[in-house]
Amino acid sequence: MMMMGETWSQLGSLIATAMFLWAMFDKYFPYQLRGPILTYSKKLASFVYPYIQIKFQEFTGEYLKRNEAYAAIETYLSNKSSAEARSLKAVVVRDSNQPVQLSMDENEEVTDEFEGIKVWWTAKSITPRTQSNPFYPETEEKRYYKLTFHKSHREILCGKYINHVLQEGKAITVRNRQRKLCINNPSQNWGGYKSRKWSHVTFEHPASFDTLAMESKKKEEIINDLIKFSQGKEYYAKIGKAWKRGYLLYGPPGTGKSSMIAAMANFMNYDIYDLELTTVKDNTELRRLLIETTSKSIIVIEDIDCSLDLTGQRKKKKEQVNDEEKKDPASKMAKGEEESNSKVTLSGLLNFIDGLWSACGGERIIVFTTNYVEKLDPALIRRGRMDKHIEMSYCGFEAFKVLAKNYLNIDSHPLFMTIGHLLEETNITPADVAENLMPKSLYDDAETCLKKLIEAIKTAKEEAIKKAEEEARLKAEKEEKEKQETTQEDVKVDESSAKEVKENGVEVVIEDKTLAKEINENGVTA
Ligand SMILES: Nc1ncnc2c1ncn2[C@@H]1O[C@H](COP(=O)(O)OP(=O)(O)OP(=O)(O)O)[C@@H](O)[C@H]1O
Ligand SMILES: [Mg+2]
């Protein structure tokens, strides 16, 4: 006990002496000599204490912008902190799917290892005593992380390690973030305070490539394409192309185009920007919307053929208009108003896909969907613009098996063979198959649902046959009508020809009506 007391009193007097010496140094030591003295003392300290320390402050710059590095380090250390530190802070992070993020409390220390080198991270804070900037009073404590390591590892830790920490921290943030489904606001709502071009909700669609019904080979091809794209940052930079990829999904309604987009977003961990083109006034607005999208996102334009008149017809219409304008400049003026309301043009959209502005942000996927691929303008869908065309087709046997697994949790059943044969002969969408496979009551077992599906496919088959017959009948009727019309026209021509021959003064009875016509056409008078 006595010993303890003595040690404490010695320590106390040591601290008091140090404080006294520091006060003397601060008060009487000439200012000019302080620099060299401090430099030498630092050299001495580095000899005695061979460690390097780096500070990462929470706020930097005149306008106290939050330091991205600090946030990344905080996230990077959160796992290590929760395992090692004894005093922790819990922070709710915006747009994160984690309820709270744990970080170490002030003066706590955690260790980390990189390529066999040990480092120490400490959370620190200082409360400023003076107000340096009257416009931004520093009333709050300044927090920072301190990284300590041996000076012999300076090169590797200052370069590779810090880079690793920042990248990993950002990657964790992306993994933990709540993904967004954004829709564009009409431009008349863009003006006011706090107004935004995009509104968002949390994206929680459960679709995945596992639940998507399509041929496994095709599915794998798409997954590989997406993986290659997500790892292609350097590759895209090397070949001088913006880091983006375009997909065109086409197929009849209910074949899973929207489900595919949701599955892609879940697989890539991307946000979705669902762009409603009909509310976009012009190309300028389109550009403004585009630059507000973030990277790691899918920009979707659904039903591109309906969103805009971007089909070949539009071009023709436009050409016609231009011809009229050339003839009549007044009509051009009259149409001026209409032109300005013409909203987004094909060239505007092409610029959006692969013009200069499309490169901002990077790591983005653009998806167009359509039910009628043949209606689209070739310029819009040519290779290079839409890098991959994916056909979403009617339900085949492989796709059916995925749905049976999803909805009924079965891999096989004696009825599968019948269904397989029926699907080969009938076009039925995965949406219709899914609808029939879904148990409608508690008593519906797998067999009941499969039988229901068989009935549905048979009905679809009968309807398809009836439709085909009806179409064939209408076609035959049309052809017959056209034939009759042609014959009537021929008769009229023949009669007028025969009459003309008569009018030329020569009475010739021409039995062969074709010959009469020919004589008339060639102006021959017999
Ligand atoms: N390939 C599929 N795999 C799994 N489920 C599917 C598939 N296709 C359709 N479905 C089911 O049908 C529903 C409708 O599908 P979805 O909306 O993806 O079709 P779509 O092709 O986008 O149709 P539309 O052209 O009308 O927009 C989905 O909710 C899903 O349950
Ligand atoms: Mg859809």
Q: What is the pLDDT, as a whole number, of residue 448? A: 94
Q: What is the pLDDT, as a whole number, of residue 192? A: 60
**Residues with a CB atom less than 6 Å from ligand 1:** 211-214, 253-259, 371, 392, 430-431, 434
Pocket test for ligand 1, best of 205, 222, 258, 259 (most atoms within 8 A of CB): 259
Domain ranges of the chain: 50-129+137-176, 181-308+343-391, 410-485, 487-521
Pocket test for ligand 1, best of 214, 215, 250, 255 (most atoms within 8 A of CB): 255
Atom of ligand 1 lying closest to residue 259 CA = 18
What is the dotted CATH code of the domain comprising 181-308+343-391? 3.40.50.300
H or E element in which residue 157 lies: none
Query: With 0-12 CB in 10 A as exposed, 13-18 as middle and 19+ as buried, what is 501?
Result: buried
Per-residue model confidence as pLDDT tens digits over 219-248: 999 999 999 999 998 898 888 888 999 999
Q: How far is the CA of 268 from the centre of ligand 2 (A)?
A: 19
ipTM: 0.98
- Segments of the chain with pLDDT less than 50: 1-4, 311-342, 505-512, 515-516, 519, 523-526
Q: 264, 279, 231: which is closest to 369 by C-alpha?
A: 264
Q: Is the pTM of this model over 0.80?
A: no
Q: Which residues contact 97 (CB under 8 A, 6 or more apart)?
A: 176, 177, 178
Among protein residues, the one with the nearest Cα to ligand 1's atom 30 is 431
Per-residue model confidence as pLDDT tens digits over 454-469: 999 999 999 999 999 9
Atom of ligand 1 lying closest to residue 214 CA = 1
Among protein residues, the one with the nearest Cα to ligand 1's atom 7 is 256
Atom of ligand 1 lying closest to residue 262 CA = 18
Per-residue model confidence as pLDDT tens digits over 379-396: 888 777 789 999 999 999
Q: Which residues have beta carbons under 5 A from ligand 2 (an ion)?
A: 257-258
Residue 421 phi/psi, 5-degree rounding, is -65, -45
Which ligand ends up closest to the CA of 392? 1
Radius of gyration of the chain (CA): 38
- Pairwise CA distance, residues 107 & 71, whole Å: 18
